[in-house]
């Protein structure tokens, strides 16, 4: 399996410094981040935003695979992840909420929810983030 790479450079102290980050594919290239973009509402990205996008993508792929494996190929699966950064007791990710809406022809609600929970616990990023409270809201829309 391939190893994926990202990179970051930071200059200065935490509150007054700034940095850039990128990915090996150059999808993100020299994207700015700073204390305000992470702990306030400043411009630029932050690690939590990137983690949210990655977790949403990972869960969505896992859920689609589990649904198809159960004989219910989805028409569409859309997920938003909300990553909360807390500073109480030191900076840490305190929770992640996955909000998913999917179109899955012919599936009953119980099977849909069971597959969603399986994907929540089974996707690689959920496994890596097991120390964080991960909540799931999965909605079936046909």
pLDDT digits (tens, 9 = 90+) for 23-49: 999 999 999 999 999 999 889 999 999
Strands (DSSP E) contained in 17-64 are 18-23, 31-34
Number of structural domains found in the chain: 2
Question: Does residue 134 sit in the same domain as residue 71?
Answer: yes
Please count the other Cβ atoms lying within 10 Å of the Cβ belonging to residue 64.
18
Beta carbons of 19 and 9 less than 8 angstroms apart: yes
**Does some domain include residue 1?**
no
Instruction: Supply the pLDDT for residue 142.
Output: 73
Question: Does residue 32 sit in the same domain as residue 84?
Answer: no
Burial of 71 (0-12, 13-18, 19+ CB in 10 A): exposed
Question: Does residue 21 sit in the same domain as residue 86?
Answer: no
CA distance 48 to 136: 18
Query: Which residues form the domain of 66?
Result: 47-140
Question: Does residue 34 sit in the same domain as residue 58?
Answer: no
**Does some domain include residue 99?**
yes
58 three-state secondary structure:
helix
Question: Does residue 89 sit in the same domain as residue 129?
Answer: yes
Question: Does residue 34 sit in the same domain as residue 53?
Answer: no
Task: Give 51's contacts (C-beta < 8 A, 6+ positions apart).
Answer: 81, 83, 93, 125
pLDDT digits (tens, 9 = 90+) for 122-142: 999 999 999 999 999 999 997
**Does some domain include residue 88?**
yes
**Does some domain include residue 60?**
yes
Q: Is the pTM of this model over 0.75?
A: yes
């Amino acid at each position: 399996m391939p190893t994926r790479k990202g990179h970051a450079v930071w200059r200065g102290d935490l509150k007054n410094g700034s940095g850039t980050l990128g990915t090996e594919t150059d999808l993100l290239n020299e994207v700015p981040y700073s204390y305000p973009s992470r702990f306030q509402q400043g411009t630029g990205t932050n690690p939590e935003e990137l983690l949210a996008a990655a977790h949403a993508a990972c869960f969505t792929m896992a859920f689609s695979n589990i649904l198809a494996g159960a004989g219910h190929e989805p028409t569409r699966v859309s997920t938003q992840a909300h990553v909360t950064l807390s500073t109480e007791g030191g900076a840490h990710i305190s929770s992640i909420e996955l909000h998913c809406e999917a179109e899955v022809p012919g599936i009953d609600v119980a099977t849909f929810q069971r597959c969603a929970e399986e994907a929540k616990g089974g996707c690689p990023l959920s496994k890596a983030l097991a120390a964080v409270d991960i909540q799931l809201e999965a909605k079936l829309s046909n």
